[in-house]
């Protein structure tokens, strides 16, 4: 189960996953994992302060006319497997690309018995269009359920080895 706290500018999502912090870190930062859950982008991280972040469109997104790079940003802090802080911007459409870079933080904390708490804090100040998508407000239009859907897919994949059907079209 994913819990969420949202405001107009800061969204916080928390999920408990029966997996190690290392497994969760790999699933967030390695392209061979990210293509298996959520919107299934292929990610590239330079896991150092000032390093680049890019997410590439999957084939379904490209079929809808999305550009190759659908989001970008910069790594602010990388402390494997505990914390990743980065800037983040959606570039799928010119309107979203014109919004401000946001700040995305992953906190990964072991809690008990092989269970790890993953807290995602997304400060979406200056990005109201993307904030609505991340809250899942675009789900009825087919654009997906935002962070709740992404984290549900991550949890399912790590705990069962099975993928949830993912959104391949534009967000």
Q: Indicate which CATH number applies to the domain containing 83.
A: 3.30.530.20
The pLDDT, as a whole number, for residue 105 is 98
The pLDDT, as a whole number, for residue 39 is 80
The string of pLDDT tens digits covering residues 54-74 is 999 988 888 888 899 999 999
Q: What is d(CA 171, CA 52) in angstroms, rounded to the nearest whole number?
A: 22
Q: Is residue 29 part of a domain?
A: yes
Q: Is residue 9 part of a domain?
A: yes
The pLDDT, as a whole number, for residue 144 is 64
Q: Which domain holds residue 30?
A: 2-159
The pLDDT, as a whole number, for residue 139 is 45
Q: Are 3 and 15 a contacting pair, CB within 8 Å?
A: yes
Q: Is residue 169 part of a domain?
A: no
The string of pLDDT tens digits covering residues 26-65 is 999 999 999 999 888 899 999 999 999 999 998 888 888 8
Q: What is d(CA 131, CA 114) in angstroms, rounded to the nearest whole number?
A: 32
Given its phi and psi angles, is residue 40 left (phi above 0), alpha (psi -120 to 50 degrees) or beta?
A: left
The pLDDT, as a whole number, for residue 129 is 84
Q: Is residue 166 part of a domain?
A: no
Q: Is residue 165 part of a domain?
A: no
- Total domain count, the chain: 1
The pLDDT, as a whole number, for residue 141 is 44
Q: Is residue 13 part of a domain?
A: yes
Nearby residues of 160 by Cβ (< 8 Å), 6 or more positions away: none
| Sites in the chain below the pLDDT cut of 50 | 1-3, 6, 139-142, 168-171
What does pTM read for this prediction?
0.87
Q: Is residue 98 part of a domain?
A: yes
Q: What is d(CA 91, CA 56) in angstroms, rounded to the nearest whole number?
A: 10
Burial of 25 from C-beta contacts in 10 A (0-12 / 13-18 / 19+): buried
Query: Buried b vs exposed e over 112-134: b needs ≥16 C-beta within 10 Å?
Result: eeeebbbebbbbbeebebbbebb
């Amino acid at each position: 189960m994913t819990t969420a706290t949202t405001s107009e500018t800061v969204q916080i999502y928390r999920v408990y996953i029966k997996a190690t912090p290392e497994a969760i870190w790999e699933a967030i930062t390695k392209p061979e994992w990210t293509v298996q859950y959520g919107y299934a982008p292929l990610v590239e991280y330079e896991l150092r302060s000032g390093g680049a972040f890019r997410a590439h469109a999957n084939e379904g997104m490209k079929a809808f006319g999305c550009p190759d790079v659908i989001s970008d940003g910069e790594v602010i802090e990388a402390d494997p497997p505990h914390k990743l802080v980065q800037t983040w911007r959606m570039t799928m459409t010119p309107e979203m690309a014109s919004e401000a870079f946001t700040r995305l933080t992953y906190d990964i904390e072991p809690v008990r018995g092989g269970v790890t708490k993953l807290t995602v804090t997304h400060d979406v100040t200056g990005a109201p269009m993307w904030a609505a998508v991340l809250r899942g407000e675009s789900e009825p239009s087919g654009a997906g359920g935002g962070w709740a859907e992404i984290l549900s897919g991550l949890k399912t994949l790590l705990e069962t080895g099975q993928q949830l059907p993912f959104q391949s079209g534009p967000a």
